[in-house]
Amino acid sequence: MVIKVHYHDPNMPPLEFYGGSDTSNWIDLRCMNEEIIPSETYKLISLGVSIELPEGYEAIIIPRSSTFKRYGILQANSVGLIDNSYKGDDDIWYMPIYSTRYTTIPQYERICQFRIQPVMKDIEIVPVDHLGNDNRGGIGSTNE
């Protein structure tokens, strides 16, 4: 599978995919510029890329596991979704964040990651009176 990437900074390190490795099969995204962010601030952080996803695919963006510990930022919408129509040269990918403390994020720091997945197709939603399954026990009931 091929994805086309337009970098908005020629010095930005290229995206890398480590598929099938034991470390991750997500692709890291970087903060394009150094960001100095006051506490309790909403900001769109440019990830410095525009990407053409394959037809029939979409991207999911989530923070890296170390991002909050290092920088005190939360992804403002929890999970980001980019569909494959967002593919123009100026359709720059961003991470909307909320800062919990004053922080500085260095230029090119890896702050989030993405993966592509097929879009859902041909889903039929059927209302029923009963599902006919055993109840599992409620939220948080696994391995009590």
Q: Which residues are catalytic?
A: 83
Q: Is the dihedral of CA 84, 85, 91, 93 positive or negative?
A: negative
| CB distance 108 to 35 below 8 Å | no
In the block, residue with structure tokens 């920088």:
71
- Helices marked H in the chain: 67-71
For residue 144, give every residue at least 6 positions away whose Cβ sits within 8 Å of its Cβ, in sequence order, or none: 137
* Cα distance between residue 48 and residue 45, in whole Å: 9
